[in-house]
């Protein structure tokens, strides 16, 4: 009987964690504004000629992505990502990437890095300050309030499961 209580507590905790995770991911996704879908560009900094991955979630139809840095991209219904190649003619600086889903729009910034032109018109990158790496699994970009709320929800559900499993065990012993 003890194994059932422990398994129930573990499943309740895992369920609470699974329910809290999508909200945390969606909160850090795109600059949603009034859009009811999520979107992201990865990486956010790229050289001319480089590739970016365009991600969309929560869109029930096909999504369209537009930018002056690359040709328009369509992410078919049922898929969540596509790649785009930044044109060699892209000027260094920040450009807007616009995501469209069911008449709603959302924007994300993409930074084009400066390169050095070669004789054939292709850009070659020269690192000046080292490689700009991503967050690498850290909590970069998360709001401490969101982290605290999520942790409180998970800990509360684990605590409630522990309480109920031990309470029931005590009642059965009598």
Asked, for residue 133, whether it belongs to a domain, the answer is no
- Domain coverage including residue 77: 31-123
Residue 67, pLDDT score: 94
Question: How sure is the predictor about 145, in pLDDT bands with cuts at 50, 70 and 90?
Answer: confident
Question: How sure is the predictor about 74, in pLDDT bands with cuts at 50, 70 and 90?
Answer: very high
User: Is a pLDDT exceeding 80 seen at residue 55?
Assistant: yes
Question: How sure is the predictor about 62, in pLDDT bands with cuts at 50, 70 and 90?
Answer: very high
Judge if 41 and 72 occupy the same domain.
yes
Any bridge partners for residue 75, and if so which?
63
Residue of higher predicted confidence among 146 and 124:
146
Judge if 47 and 104 occupy the same domain.
yes
User: Is a pLDDT exceeding 60 seen at residue 139?
Assistant: no
Q: Could you say which DSSP state residue 31 is in?
A: B
- pLDDT tens digit sequence for 11-44: 555 555 555 544 444 444 444 456 789 999 999 9
- CATH number of the domain to which 82 belongs: 2.60.40.10
For all residues of the chain together, what is the average pLDDT? 75
Which residue do the tokens 């080292």 mark?
130
Helix axes 144-173, 2-28, angle to 10 degrees: 170
Percent of the chain having pLDDT more than 70?
59
Asked, for residue 54, whether it belongs to a domain, the answer is yes
Asked, for residue 129, whether it belongs to a domain, the answer is no
């Amino acid at each position: 009987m003890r194994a059932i209580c422990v398994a129930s507590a573990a499943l309740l905790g895992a369920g609470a964690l699974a329910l809290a995770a999508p909200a945390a991911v969606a909160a850090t996704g795109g600059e949603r504004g009034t859009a009811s879908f999520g979107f992201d560009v990865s990486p956010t900094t790229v050289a001319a000629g480089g590739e970016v991955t365009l991600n969309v979630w929560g869109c029930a139809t096909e999504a369209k992505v537009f930018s002056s840095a690359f040709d328009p991209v369509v992410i078919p219904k049922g898929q969540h990502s596509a790649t785009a190649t930044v044109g060699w003619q892209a000027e260094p600086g920040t450009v807007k990437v616009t995501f469209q889903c069911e008449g709603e729009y959302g924007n994300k910034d993409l930074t084009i890095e400066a390169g050095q032109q070669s004789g054939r018109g292709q850009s070659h990158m020269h690192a000046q300050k080292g490689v700009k790496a991503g967050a690498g699994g850290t909590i970069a970009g998360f709001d401490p309030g969101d982290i605290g709320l999520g942790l409180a929800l998970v800990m509360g559900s684990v605590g409630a499961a522990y309480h109920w499993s031990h309470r029931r065990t005590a009642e059965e012993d009598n």
